[in-house]
């Protein structure tokens, strides 16, 4: 049996080949279907990379050829306490070992983010908030960022191939006339301005010159944020900052982004001349998520609220087909597509049943809708 064509249950076989039980080896997998286009990644949780969720592991190794760590390499997880002894590397080490064992392309997520960063990072040793107008405070925060990046990227040098260096730093406003490029409420922005972005990329590059360095954000399909993204990346490029890939999270809902918007956004972003990665793909089917296009963690309860939208399963298939048609069309620019979770039960938006596999690890109709787009 071709090892890329792995049975994940006979239900899968009958879903889109209609073939009899026992013929599952003829079934394509996501990674196989898109092997000429881009690797297919998935964000994994600790129960998966520790091997406890054995059904999850079976799906991950059968269907995907790249991994992202859903949470364990965020600052609060990997570096919860001050100082050089304040690290907790055990989960990150296990994550990377799991990826290596399964010969997968391994992503690191994320080095500098306003969220999931412990409070001490933005305070002095007496608990006083650091200030952007105080040169010593700025120095202190830059020194912490440097030490963190050197330590974390350095530890996995040559083993984590791709890093989300800066996450969600753009101003989230939907007002196109809002001229602030960056997220003003971020302590990174408040204290250091754009300098934290410049330094984070330079230091990540210094720590692992071969690593592929991404800027990662959500809702960059929408024009106001896309304009800010393009302005930011052009500014970084003008300073020779080693930003190498644009990460578009693509936390979608059943109707957004439309086929036209996705195509236009990819066309526009590709003009920057950098490869694009789809980094956190899911499609929210919850009623509450149909109005909201933000993937801000703080707004998640709202976005995942309410029952499933009417005919959610059918609309999910349509939306996934539409997105993958755009990815396939732009396959010369898109170098990786990563789903944000394995099954609906694992998802941060589990209420919205946003993924291709249900809580029983079975493929949903959207799975075959995606595979179809590879042809
Ligand atoms: O899926 C992640 C969830 O388990 C965490 O509780 C949450 C906060 O750390 O982060 C979620 O992942 C986010 C990702 O790191 C960055 N983009 C938005 C994702 C969804 O909130």
Residue % of the chain over a pLDDT of 70: 90
Residues 172-188 as b/e (b if ≥16 CB within 10 A, e otherwise) read beeeeeeeebbbeebbb
| Max CA distance (Å), the chain | 71
Helix H or strand E encompassing 357: none
- Check: CB of residue 314 under 8 Å from CB of residue 255: no
Determine the average pLDDT of the residues in 53-81.
Answer: 98
| Predicted TM-score (pTM) above 0.85 | yes
- Check: CB of residue 284 under 8 Å from CB of residue 254: yes
44, 69, 71, best to mutate for ligand 1 pocket (most atoms within 8 Å of CB): 71
Chain-centre distance of CA 62, in angstroms? 20
At 164-203, the pLDDT tens digits run 999 999 999 999 999 999 999 999 999 999 999 999 999 9
**Model confidence band, residue 303 (pLDDT cutoffs 50, 70, 90):** low
Nearest atom in ligand 1 to 76's CA: 9
Which range has the worst mean pLDDT, 38-42, 127-131, 290-294, 353-357? Answer: 290-294
The predicted pLDDT at position 84 comes to 80
Q: How far is the CA of 238 from the centre of ligand 1 (A)?
A: 31
**Model confidence band, residue 43 (pLDDT cutoffs 50, 70, 90):** very high
At 208-261, the pLDDT tens digits run 999 999 999 999 999 999 999 999 999 999 999 999 999 999 999 999 999 999
Residues forming the active site:
168, 280
Spell out the alpha helix ranges (H) of the chain.
10-16, 30-33, 46-49, 54-63, 75-78, 90-101, 135-155, 187-192, 195-207, 223-238, 259-270, 300-303, 312-329, 365-372
The predicted pLDDT at position 300 comes to 64
Nearest atom in ligand 1 to 109's CA: 15
Domain ranges of the chain: 29-372
Pairing of strands 40-44, 66-69: parallel
Report which protein residue has its CA nearest ligand 1's atom 21.
Answer: 297
Which value, in Å, is the radius of gyration of the alpha carbons in the chain? 20
Q: How far is the CA of 219 from the centre of ligand 1 (A)?
A: 15
Domain 29-372 has CATH 1.20.120.330: no
Whole-angstrom Cα distance, residue 29 to residue 18?
Answer: 15
Report which protein residue has its CA nearest ligand 1's atom 3.
Answer: 348
Nearest atom in ligand 1 to 295's CA: 18
Whole-angstrom Cα distance, residue 17 to residue 25?
Answer: 11
Q: How far is the CA of 74 from the centre of ligand 1 (A)?
A: 10
Mean of the per-residue pLDDT values of the chain: 92
Whole-angstrom Cα distance, residue 76 to residue 109?
Answer: 12
Which range has the worst mean pLDDT, 6-20, 24-38, 82-96, 346-360? Answer: 6-20
Which range has the worst mean pLDDT, 83-92, 143-152, 192-201, 265-274? Answer: 83-92
Q: How far is the CA of 68 from the centre of ligand 1 (A)?
A: 12
At 83-138, the pLDDT tens digits run 889 999 999 999 999 999 999 999 999 999 999 999 999 999 999 999 999 999 99
41, 69, 70, 341, best to mutate for ligand 1 pocket (most atoms within 8 Å of CB): 70
How many other C-beta atoms can be found within 10 angstroms of the C-beta atom of residue 190? Answer: 17
Residues with CB under 6 A from ligand 1: 70-71, 74, 116, 167, 249, 280, 295, 297, 300, 348
Q: How far is the CA of 110 from the centre of ligand 1 (A)?
A: 11
> Which of 146, 133, 167, 58 lies closest to 102, judged by CA?
58
Whole-angstrom Cα distance, residue 181 to residue 197?
Answer: 13
Residue 8 has pLDDT above 60, yes or no: no
The predicted pLDDT at position 239 comes to 98
- 344 φ, ψ (degrees, to nearest 5): -55, -35
**Model confidence band, residue 147 (pLDDT cutoffs 50, 70, 90):** very high
Residue % of the chain over a pLDDT of 90: 86
The predicted pLDDT at position 16 comes to 37
Nearest atom in ligand 1 to 341's CA: 1
Q: How far is the CA of 347 from the centre of ligand 1 (A)?
A: 9
> Which of 22, 21, 16, 42 lies closest to 31, judged by CA?
42
186, 348, 350, 352, best to mutate for ligand 1 pocket (most atoms within 8 Å of CB): 348
- Check: CB of residue 8 under 8 Å from CB of residue 363: yes
**Model confidence band, residue 299 (pLDDT cutoffs 50, 70, 90):** low
Q: How far is the CA of 71 from the centre of ligand 1 (A)?
A: 7
**Model confidence band, residue 23 (pLDDT cutoffs 50, 70, 90):** very low
> Which of 73, 15, 5, 56 lies closest to 35, judged by CA?
5
Report which protein residue has its CA nearest ligand 1's atom 17.
Answer: 295
């Amino acid at each position: 049996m071709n090892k890329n064509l792995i049975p994940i249950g006979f239900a899968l076989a009958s879903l889109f080949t209609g073939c009899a039980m026992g013929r599952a080896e003829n079934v394509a997998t996501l990674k196989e279907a898109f092997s000429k286009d881009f690797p297919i990644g998935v964000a994994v949780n600790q129960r998966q990379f520790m091997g406890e969720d054995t059904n999850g592991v079976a799906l991950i190794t059968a269907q995907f050829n790249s991994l992202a760590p859903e949470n364990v390499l965020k600052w609060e997880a990997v570096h919860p306490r001050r100082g050089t002894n304040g690290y907790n590397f055990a989960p990150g080490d296990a994550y990377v070992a799991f990826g290596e064992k399964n010969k997968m392309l391994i992503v690191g997520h994320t080095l500098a983010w306003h969220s999931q960063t412990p409070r001490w990072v933005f305070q002095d040793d007496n608990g006083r908030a650091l200030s952007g107008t105080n040169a010593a405070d700025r120095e202190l925060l830059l020194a912490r960022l440097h030490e963190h990046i050197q330590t974390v990227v350095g530890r996995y040098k040559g083993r984590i191939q791709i890093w989300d260096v800066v996450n969600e730093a753009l101003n989230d406003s939907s007002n196109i006339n809002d001229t602030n490029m960056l997220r003003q409420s971020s302590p990174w922005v408040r204290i250091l301005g754009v300098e934290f972005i410049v330094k984070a990329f330079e230091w990540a590059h210094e720590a692992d010159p071969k690593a592929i360095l991404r800027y990662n954000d959500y809702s960059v399909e929408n024009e106001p944020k896309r304009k800010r993204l393009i302005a930011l990346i052009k500014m970084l490029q003008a300073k020779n900052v080693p930003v190498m890939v644009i990460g578009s999270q693509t936390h979608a809902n059943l109707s957004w982004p439309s086929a036209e918007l996705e195509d236009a956004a990819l066309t526009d972003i590709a003009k920057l001349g950098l490869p694009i990665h789809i980094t956190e793909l899911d499609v929210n089917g919850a009623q509450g998520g149909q109005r909201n296009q933000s993937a801000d963690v703080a707004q998640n309860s709202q976005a995942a609220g309410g029952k499933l939208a009417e005919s959610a399963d059918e609309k999910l298939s349509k939306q996934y087909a539409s997105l993958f048609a755009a990815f396939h069309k732009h396959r010369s620019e898109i170098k990786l597509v990563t789903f944000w979770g394995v099954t609906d039960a694992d998802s941060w938006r589990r209420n919205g049943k946003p993924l291709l596999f249900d809580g029983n690890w079975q493929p949903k109709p959207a799975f075959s809708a995606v595979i179809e787009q590879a042809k």
